[in-house]
Structure 1
Amino acid sequence: MGIGATAGVAAVGGAALSAQASGNPSSSSASLRFDPDAYTKLTTTITDTQGAEHKVTYHFWKAITYVADPVDETYQSLNVSVPVEIDGTAVDATDAPILFANSVGGYLPSSVADATGIGASGAPTGGGTGGGASPAPSASASASAPGANGNTNGTGGALNTNQLLALLAGYVVVEPGARGRTLTNSDGEYYGTAPAVIVDLKAAVRYVRSNKGRIPGDTDRIVSAGTSAGGAVSALLGASGDSPIYDKYLKELGAADASDALFAVGAWCPITDLEHADGAYEWNWGTNALSSGKQVDQTVSKDLKAQFAEYQAGLKLRGLDGFGPLTARNYDEYLVKQYLEPSATKYLAGLSDSDRETYLAKNTFITWSGGRAAFAWDDFLTHVGARKKDTPAFDAFDLSAGENNEFGAGTTEARHFTAYGAKNDSTGLGTKRVAADIPGKLNLMNPMYHLVEKVNERRSKHWWIRLGTSDSDTSHVISANLAARLDNLGDDVNHLYYWDQGHGANTDPGDFITWIATVTGYDKDRTAKRN
């Protein structure tokens, strides 16, 4: 395998770390100047897509505080990993792409403070570091990721795979921590709710870019990655690059005076467009019962579907590949033809003849002809089965959803963020309206704001978006709308659905790593240097 080669890398079997001291480990500091010598030298074994193991030696900088005036250094710090040797061959990552891999899940806080090496940090936590740390709100936590108490990205999920494979490819990997919705101080005040997570991640990007020439890697070729809520903020980072609406928050933290624009974005099952997510969810999953067999309130479901139809019409989006206007009436056809049938076709084509025959015998709703799968939308919904969330899925009437907590403020744990949720509140609130600051908070948290209402020319122009077809954590429309809008703006969009995969799936990480080399031009740069 050549230096920094990307061909054939995709599945990670493990990473057994053995530390070898080389210099002093970096520590939290108010300084925003990166110390190139303050690293620990580590060696790890990474398994590629073909099952082959590779020995990778890298320099590891741990828990560097990325703002001058942190609220909580436990979360507002980042790790940097730079490969220096792969299978005994020296690696020069000076001009390599930088993978900026957040491990946010459920909009919960994530920390790199206890990391032992790459891919071993960032797992979301439910408590705070102050005297009044609170547990997460009730367990409906709509922005849930694969793990019961957050997500598995930091300990073996999609991003852990991406991080290790990026290192194996010769890339620099930055793992930022960020505040999250459950953090409280000794006065019981929430200090990690919106927009803390996006402000922190922007500050981390600014730290990296301000240290050009000190942090190895090409600081103009930063590629964000995230899953679930982390996918949402990854997309938000890419859409909102250098937007002035974050300036006052970044100034309060003493963020570096640098750009926070990103070159490219990877987003897996993004839980985003929250103020419209309830309607989109009911349009998609409204007829599906819960796992208990209970049918959701159909009056509420129909109300929310109507809201979605109005919102979708206002977006004036056109589908990919010349589909035409996307509306609530034809979106099922669009999803089936653009994403679902191609996804099923790819899956079935990859099976042996006998395995394909067995699968089709169990799933008779699929017609297999000429090497292609075909089926109806209603049959697909039946195939997926139970929906994950009750209605409303995101702005719960009883304020139990994780997103309600994400929009908490002061000592108030959870708040409504849609007019419909507030109007139908079941907790006995004195007001049936959203708070005055909510519209502004929603703009800060929604990539669509920066792509539709205030088109941001400093956005990323390259996008990798993925979703499992069996994922009912959000609507399939959410990522499809994001992809359509980006495509309509002329951006490079690589958007696929994984057949029969659930929330947090990442079945083609090797392709993502190769994609990074292609869109950043790194593969051409290496070819030129070799020649």
Structure 2
Amino acid sequence: MQHRAVRRRSVVMGTVAAAGVAAVGGGAASAQAAGSGGTRATRASGALVFDKDDHTELTETIKDAAGTGHEVVYRFYKARPYVTDPVDAAYQSLVVSVPVRIDGKAVDTTGAPVVLANAIGGYMPSSVAQATGVGQAGGAGPSGSPSASPTGTPGGGTGGGAGGAGGRANLAQLALVAGYVVVEPGARGRSLVDASGTYYGTAPAAIVDLKAAVRYLRFNQGRIPGDTDRIVSTGTSAGGALSALLGASGDSPLYDRYLKELGAADASDAIFATGAWCPITDLEHADGAYEWNWGSNVTQSTGKVVDQGVSRELRARFAEYQASLKLRGLNGFGPLTARTYDRYLLTTYLQPAATAYLAALPESGRAAYLAANPFLTWSGGKATFTWEDYLAHVGARKKTAPAFDAFDLSAAENNEFGTGTTEARHFTDYGLRNDTTGLTAKRLDGDIPELLRLMNPMHFLKEGNPGRSRHWWIRLGTDDTDTALTVSANLAAAADNLGDEVDHAYYWDQGHGADTDPDAFLAWVARVTGHRG
């Protein structure tokens, strides 16, 4: 049974301390808080009121998406908790940045979109407790807090949704210089362990925290600058998965008991638009999708040859799952199945991505690229090639099989589904059945199905959740072997099939975490929100 009443840690610093929100004891205290709705609402209405005067005015030179520097004067609101009863306030807090003047020109943020830029990567914790300016969110929490992965390599990759790790676009800074209000939320993550050895940041902690942050913003409508009815979420990798989940699951009652236990504000957690880059999501089906996509690339980048028997079995499981979704591709493509998906990816995403890349090159550069990559045919201003040639072009895969629910429980996602003092668990029957750690259980733990539902945006899109985002920006690099191309394509198709607006594209020859068109994203935000700043 999943342990929910974890021991709470009292961590206060800076404005977190000033807000007067101390972590409280678990167990009975949590149960009492969860069961007293009126008291909870009263407490939240006072403790969670945003103090618009508690800020520092900063001046920085910040580059826009084109690389041009601008003098930006902005109000920075240091970290403040977004719940009344945080498990760990160092992570369950947010910072707000509001532009005042850009290159000497006053900025009116009255109706500006609010960009909620999370910096979560690998389902690890993300903290803003020590941030002193915009775009500083990241995995490094307060001194002494864990930030390293206890098991394996983070399957979700590193951050970048806000902080721009690894040279990625710093969307928090770019949004600020575009004139938007920027909110950077911290969140618990899978590696957090208290003194008793209890993991208190595993599923569904991260998505619950992000929902609580949204509720805080909407509860403070009129106090927090910007239009809190126009919240646009962004995230990369695991952060992209959580951004997509935030968009898909808006106002779902499935999270209410978790939010109540934390003392989240009594407000909506629905967001207006979703930005997701290389989302590591649909985890219970990700192993099959990975083998369908990369299974013919039998060698890992480490040189290890992947077990082909496992790969074949997982591909078969993907075919069954894909058929069950009953999705139709964008642009009138038709049914998306294991048999049609390669053609869909080629015609809808891969060839257009290569075409855009080659068209942007000078003639000499294009000629050189084509000479080095003879599998590409360039004719009439369009690039064509086969699926097999594309896979050969990408080459070695990153991960073994299974890629996500590892037989030896070493994957980051195994840790994401840990519970209590148990560091890692299987979350698929296939992973459990082939366990190599000595487990004798015949069935998955009883709480796993609920956790999978809470962590997968596809469940909410399949049901047509009425509180979902209606605007979707989804991006992925064509060389990204951290996940399958079908994961983001299914997400896009599911939203599109519901009638939502979807802007989904791939970056040619780009790897995990790529964001090569942030200027287009910011323009998209202005268009879908109706912002005329």
Structure-1-length-normalised TM-score: 0.90
In 1, the alpha carbon distance for the partners of 2:68 and 2:147 equals 44
Q: Deviations over 1:326-363 (max 9, x none)?
A: 10011001000000000000000000111000000000
CA deviation after TM superposition for structure 1 residue 520, in Å: 0.3
1:140 aligned residue: 153
**Secondary structure of the corresponding residue to residue 75 of structure 2:** strand
1:323 aligned residue: 333
State the one-letter code of the partner of 1:220: D
In 2, the alpha carbon distance for the partners of 1:499 and 1:126 equals 38
Q: Is the 8 A contact 1:77 1:176 kept in 2?
A: yes
In 2, the alpha carbon distance for the partners of 1:340 and 1:252 equals 45
In 1, the alpha carbon distance for the partners of 2:137 and 2:151 equals 25
Q: How many residues align?
A: 493
Q: Of the candidates 232, 248, 251, which is equivalent to residue 242 of structure 1?
A: 251
State the one-letter code of the partner of 1:29: G
In 2, the alpha carbon distance for the partners of 1:495 and 1:197 equals 25
Q: Of the candidates 91, 102, 107, which is equivalent to residue 118 of structure 2?
A: 102
Q: Is the 8 A contact 1:268 1:506 kept in 2?
A: yes
CA deviation after TM superposition for structure 1 residue 125, in Å: 6.0
In 1, the alpha carbon distance for the partners of 2:429 and 2:87 equals 31
CA deviation after TM superposition for structure 1 residue 467, in Å: 0.1
In 2, the alpha carbon distance for the partners of 1:340 and 1:440 equals 35
Residues 244, 465 of structure 1: alpha-carbon distance in 2 compared, 3 angstrom cutoff: same
2:415 aligned residue: 405
Q: Of the candidates 206, 215, 229, which is equivalent to residue 206 of structure 1?
A: 215
Residues 383, 159 of structure 1: alpha-carbon distance in 2 compared, 3 angstrom cutoff: closer
1:111 aligned residue: 127
**Secondary structure of the corresponding residue to residue 440 of structure 2:** coil
In 2, the alpha carbon distance for the partners of 1:332 and 1:305 equals 13
In 1, the alpha carbon distance for the partners of 2:162 and 2:522 equals 17
Q: Of the candidates 183, 186, 192, which is equivalent to residue 201 of structure 2?
A: 192
Q: Is the 8 A contact 2:118 2:137 kept in 1?
A: no
Q: Which runs of 5+ in 1 are unaligned?
A: 1-23, 527-531
**Does 2:302 align with 1:292?**
yes
Q: Deviations over 1:29-83 (max 9, x none)?
A: 3320000000011111112244321100000011110000000000000000000
1:415 aligned residue: 425
Q: Of the candidates 81, 88, 111, which is equivalent to residue 65 of structure 1?
A: 81
Residues 141, 125 of structure 1: alpha-carbon distance in 2 compared, 3 angstrom cutoff: farther
CA deviation after TM superposition for structure 1 residue 263, in Å: 0.2
> What pairs with 1:45-444 in structure 2 (closer than 5 Å)?
45-123=61-139, 129=145, 135-145=148-158, 153-156=162-165, 161-288=170-297, 289-444=299-454
**Secondary structure of the corresponding residue to residue 519 of structure 2:** helix
Residues 194, 159 of structure 1: alpha-carbon distance in 2 compared, 3 angstrom cutoff: farther
Q: Deviations over 1:169-213 (max 9, x none)?
A: 111000000000010111100000000000000000000000011
Q: Is the 8 A contact 1:107 1:180 kept in 2?
A: yes
2:57 aligned residue: 41
Q: Is the 8 A contact 1:74 1:112 kept in 2?
A: yes
In 1, the alpha carbon distance for the partners of 2:19 and 2:345 equals 47
**Secondary structure of the corresponding residue to residue 419 of structure 2:** coil
In 1, the alpha carbon distance for the partners of 2:450 and 2:168 equals 30
CA deviation after TM superposition for structure 1 residue 126, in Å: 11
**Does 2:467 align with 1:458?**
yes
**Secondary structure of the corresponding residue to residue 496 of structure 1:** strand
Q: Deviations over 1:115-170 (max 9, x none)?
A: 120001233569974xxx5852333332223xxxx668525458752111111111
Q: Which moved more, 1:288-297 or 1:33-42?
A: 288-297
In 1, the alpha carbon distance for the partners of 2:89 and 2:19 equals 7
Q: Is the 8 A contact 2:163 2:170 kept in 1?
A: no
State the one-letter code of the partner of 1:114: Q
State the one-letter code of the partner of 1:88: G
**Secondary structure of the corresponding residue to residue 228 of structure 2:** coil
CA deviation after TM superposition for structure 1 residue 287, in Å: 1.2
**Secondary structure of the corresponding residue to residue 410 of structure 2:** coil
Q: Deviations over 1:294-313 (max 9, x none)?
A: 32000000000000000000
In 1, the alpha carbon distance for the partners of 2:138 and 2:251 equals 25
Q: Of the candidates 476, 480, 483, which is equivalent to residue 471 of structure 1?
A: 480
State the one-letter code of the partner of 1:397: F
In 1, the alpha carbon distance for the partners of 2:143 and 2:329 equals 42
Q: Is the 8 A contact 1:202 1:260 kept in 2?
A: yes
Residues 101, 280 of structure 1: alpha-carbon distance in 2 compared, 3 angstrom cutoff: same
State the one-letter code of the partner of 1:260: D
Q: Of the candidates 517, 524, 531, which is equivalent to residue 508 of structure 1?
A: 517
Q: Which moved more, 1:152-161 or 1:75-84?
A: 152-161
In 2, the alpha carbon distance for the partners of 1:291 and 1:522 equals 45
In 1, the alpha carbon distance for the partners of 2:161 and 2:244 equals 19
**Secondary structure of the corresponding residue to residue 237 of structure 1:** helix
Q: Is the 8 A contact 2:282 2:487 kept in 1?
A: yes
In 2, the alpha carbon distance for the partners of 1:425 and 1:126 equals 36
Q: Is the 8 A contact 1:98 1:171 kept in 2?
A: yes
**Secondary structure of the corresponding residue to residue 502 of structure 2:** strand
In 2, the alpha carbon distance for the partners of 1:276 and 1:397 equals 15
**Secondary structure of the corresponding residue to residue 197 of structure 1:** helix
Q: Is the 8 A contact 2:128 2:141 kept in 1?
A: no
Taking only aligned residues, the RMSD between alpha carbons, in angstroms, comes to: 1.7
State the one-letter code of the partner of 1:435: D
State the one-letter code of the partner of 2:215: R
In 2, the alpha carbon distance for the partners of 1:285 and 1:440 equals 29
In 1, the alpha carbon distance for the partners of 2:151 and 2:484 equals 22
In 2, the alpha carbon distance for the partners of 1:127 and 1:399 equals 29
Q: Deviations over 1:244-285 (max 9, x none)?
A: 000000000000000000000000000000000000000000
Residues 322, 126 of structure 1: alpha-carbon distance in 2 compared, 3 angstrom cutoff: farther
**Secondary structure of the corresponding residue to residue 522 of structure 1:** coil
In 2, the alpha carbon distance for the partners of 1:443 and 1:28 equals 34
In 2, the alpha carbon distance for the partners of 1:80 and 1:355 equals 43
Q: Is the 8 A contact 2:161 2:171 kept in 1?
A: no
Q: Which moved more, 1:469-478 or 1:90-99?
A: 90-99
**Secondary structure of the corresponding residue to residue 163 of structure 2:** helix
State the one-letter code of the partner of 1:68: T
In 1, the alpha carbon distance for the partners of 2:395 and 2:453 equals 33
Structure-2-length-normalised TM-score: 0.90
**Secondary structure of the corresponding residue to residue 154 of structure 1:** coil
**Secondary structure of the corresponding residue to residue 433 of structure 1:** coil
Q: Of the candidates 482, 491, 494, which is equivalent to residue 491 of structure 2?
A: 482
